[in-house]
Structure 1
Amino acid sequence: MSSADKNLSVFSTDGLPDISQATFAIVVAEWNHEITEKLFEGAHATLIRYGAKPENIIRANVPGSYELSFGAQVFARKIEVDAVIALGCVIQGETKHNDYINHAVAHGLTQVSLTYHKPVIFGVLTPNSQEQALDRAGGKHGNKGDEAAMTAIKMLSLV
């Protein structure tokens, strides 16, 4: 189901694990700051709402979405970090840069997750326009940051 048909901030909360002792790292791309800051706010609020302690949420900024994989790796290798959430936004432009960046980030985050045996969540918007990005960063389609945080919480139940 595409996000055009689903609200990213609506999800099942059945069987969630206790995250009161979990530590989360949220790595945020600075590029498209207006969007990524809203994604961070959604992710942070969702973690708190479902039991994470504010002092157990670490934030780090990286210049752009391409750098999210390395930023995620820095935190995934830390034993005290239980899950990493990577937040970014790559808007389709006149060139195919978004295809290359999005593929590299998805592959990189997957590799970090598998290498360190921890949830590393792809919270990167890949919209065609600024309007679509805003719709998915707290607008009419909810907030991808909320969804990314809930995914991290649910994935902790596996480990």
Structure 2
Amino acid sequence: MFGADKGSTSLLDGKKLSIGIVQARFNEGITNALFEACHAELLALGVQEKHITRVTVPGALEVPIALQAMAEQDEYDALIALGCIIRGETYHFELVANESGAGVSRVSLDTHTPIANAILTTENLEQAVARQTEKGRDAARVAVEMAHVLEQIG
């Protein structure tokens, strides 16, 4: 059995990891807060600043292609997707939420790279603000843990 039997503390040791982050700029106030929380948590988990790479893209639909380019470099133990999609009055919300989520999953599966998906999908700005810090922290923890899990599976 992988993961739980190894002990969660060792799975959250980021000292030897290299992490890539793709951040959408759309809804930048939220995505910057996601990044700040994620970045702080990565550092708290021991990931060295020099081993954290941040790339920004226009919006959530552009996140998967940037993740794919980073995954293909084979320099990262895990990747993180940061973005924020807030429901509007049109079908565009569903399109962006569904396609960005499917794209992130596809890149992860196709490249065998763990990707923590922290692209928020909320009904309104208040919900996004309420989730931005914890979701950013969660993304860092998921990325570090999944890098170790995939290493164990080998």
TM-score where L is the length of structure 1: 0.86
Give yes or no for the alignment of 1:71 onto 2:66. yes
Give yes or no for the alignment of 1:106 onto 2:84. no
SS in 1 for 2:11: coil
In structure 1, the residue matched to 2:137 is 146
Q: Is the 8 A contact 2:13 2:46 kept in 1?
A: yes
Q: Is the 8 A contact 1:136 1:144 kept in 2?
A: yes
**C-alpha separation in 2, matches of 1:126 and 1:17:** 26
In structure 2, the residue matched to 1:16 is 11
Give yes or no for the alignment of 1:32 onto 2:27. yes
Q: Displacement, 1:89? A: 0.2
Query: Structure 1: any 5+ residue segments left out of the alignment?
Result: 1-11
In structure 2, the residue matched to 1:6 is none
Q: Displacement, 1:15? A: 4.1
Compute the RMSD of aligned alpha carbons.
1.4
Q: Displacement, 1:18? A: 3.2
Q: Choose which of 67, 75, 89 in structure 2 pairs with 1:94.
A: 89
Q: Displacement, 1:121? A: 1.6
In structure 1, the residue matched to 2:131 is 136
**C-alpha separation in 2, matches of 1:133 and 1:144:** 10
Q: Choose which of 112, 115, 119 in structure 2 pairs with 1:124.
A: 119
Matched AA of 1:112: V
Q: Displacement, 1:17? A: 4.6
TM-score where L is the length of structure 2: 0.89
Cα deviation, 1:90-123, whole Å, max 9, x if unaligned, reads: 0000012111111111111111111111101211
**C-alpha separation in 1, matches of 2:75 and 2:90:** 40
Q: Displacement, 1:19? A: 2.0
SS in 2 for 1:81: coil
Cα deviation, 1:29-74, whole Å, max 9, x if unaligned, reads: 0000000000000111111101100000000000001100011111
Q: What is the aligned length?
A: 144
Identity between Structure 1 and Structure 2 (%): 38
In structure 2, the residue matched to 1:8 is none
Give yes or no for the alignment of 1:41 onto 2:36. yes
